[in-house]
Amino acid sequence: MSLRGKKIVLGITGSIAAYKAADLTRRLVKAGAEVQPVMTAAAGRFIPPLTIATLAGREVLSELFPEAGEAQTAWTKHVDLGLWADGVVIAPATAQTLAKLAGGFCDSMLTAVVLSARCPVLVAPAMDHDMWGHPATRRNVATLQADGVTVVPPAHGELASGLIGDGRLPEPEDLVAQIGRWLDESGERGIGHDAARLGAEADAPASLAGRHVLVTAGPTREALDPVRFLSNGSTGQMGFALAAAAARRGARVTLLAGPVALDTPPGVERVDIVTADDLLQAALAHAEADVVIAAAAVSDYAPAEPADRKLKKGDDDLTLRLRRTPDVLGTLGAQKRDGQTLVGFALETHDGEAHARGKLARKHLDWIALNVQGEPGAGMGAATNRVTLLGADGARVEIPTAPKAEVAEAILDVLASSPSGGDAR
């Protein structure tokens, strides 16, 4: 990732995750960026400003007003930095910092820089799991996103409190990659604080802050014997892309993942399942979700009597008796509550739209995403996808062939912008 020539104000606030700011600073500089560090007083309790200054090659700024001996015009540095920077990055951003930024408070050099900035702003929150999930924090995140601020969801894992959950600052190498993409995309769209003030925040992804999104992904496996199973070719890429996109929009995301070789997206709670029965139980445990996106490829049949020992070769022909697996999506649709949005997927080989619309009606869905196996660039195993979204109200939206991450964003855009099937925002 090259950031050559980019000017970045790096804000560091008082979280235990501030220790990662040293590595983040080093990596940003190594990528070619000019980094101006700005630390809050609380951040200095976790990492010495001298460490950050040495790595950045610039003096750390902290105080809003000039100290003894400084020029009296030094108090306008926040204005100068707001004009100088290509982007303001706050990592880690504490709950206190999010609250101050959402409320427009200006009591430190960092908050003054943000209010003065004419460039995009990105925050990477880090805090305890319960603090991240608190309604006040979710409101503040939603406010910031509405103002055009990009929020990188915290990662899932062990926290300083000893709890396990969402709240970890993503690893510095991941942050640098996200910062690079963010600056490129912001430059293409022209998104900054001035643009947001003028109403261009509509160009940014619709917020899902405060919403619970449940995504199912990957295949299921149904045991034939201890070493063999019935399954399908799903890689889980589409479902994982949808989970990652929802997390980037501030949602609390639960991902029910079949057996796939994919890393958990940052900020996503992952529950691993194997069989269709496993998936049903896990889905029912999270059935209160505001938005359910069922992208998993569930095996429709399972061996009725799986062997407890490995089957050996015998006759040339082997007859299997199969049973139907539970209808996970149909079960969720039958108990769907008011205000909940339910989205299914239909992978077809022929008569796709007719089959998809039938599934849409039978399972009480709000939307169904139709893709065709065998079509170039679509279906299982492909890095790209092409989707036709069909709505319960008759809506039909074509999403052209694109990487699955882009298709996921387009699907969420449709859910957020259309009244079909309830409020996905």
- Does residue 80 sit within a domain? yes
Residues 279 and 400 in one domain: yes
Q: For position 191, what pLDDT does the model report?
A: 43
pLDDT in tens, 55-98: 999 999 988 775 655 544 455 678 888 889 999 999 999 999 99
**First vs last C-alpha separation in the chain:** 32
How far is residue 265's CA from residue 260's CA, in Å, rounded to a whole number?
13
Residues of the chain with pLDDT under 50: 71-73, 188-191, 193-204, 420-425
Examine residue 99 and state whether it is found in any structural domain, yes or no.
yes
pLDDT at 70: 52
Cα–Cα distance, 361 to 153 (Å, whole number): 35
Dist. CA 199–CA 5, nearest whole Å: 29
Amino acid identity for residue 370 in this structure? L
Q: Which residue has the tokens 């940014």?
A: 204
- Residue 336 sits at φ, ψ, to 5 deg, of -60, 135
Please list, in sequence order, all residues whose beta carbon lies within 8 angstroms of the beta carbon of residue 319, skipping any fewer than 6 positions away: none
Q: Both 326 and 296 in a single domain? A: yes
32 occurs within a structural domain: yes
pLDDT value at residue 236: 93
Residues annotated catalytic, as ranges: 232
Report how many domains make up the chain.
Answer: 2
Residue 359 sits in a domain whose CATH number is: 3.40.50.10300
| Contact by Cβ (8 Å): 4, 30 | no
Does 423 fall in a domain? no
Same domain, 15 and 138: yes
Which range of residues forms the domain containing residue 237?
212-417
On the 0-12 / 13-18 / 19+ scale of CB atoms within 10 A, 171 is middle
174 and 244 co-located in one domain: no
Asked if the structure places residue 40 within a domain, the reply is yes
Residues 223 and 324 in one domain: yes
Tens-place pLDDT, residues 132-175: 989 899 899 888 988 889 988 888 888 888 888 888 999 999 89
Domain boundary among 169, 203, 237: 203
The last residue of one of the domains, among 173, 203, 233, is 203
Instruction: Looking at the structure, tell me whether residues 54 and 199 fall in a common domain.
Output: yes
* 64 three-class SS: coil
- Phi, psi dihedrals of residue 16, rounded to the nearest 5°: -60, -25
Length, in residues, of the chain:
425
**DSSP string across 205-242:** PPP-TT-EEEEEESB--EEEETTEEE-----SHHHHHH
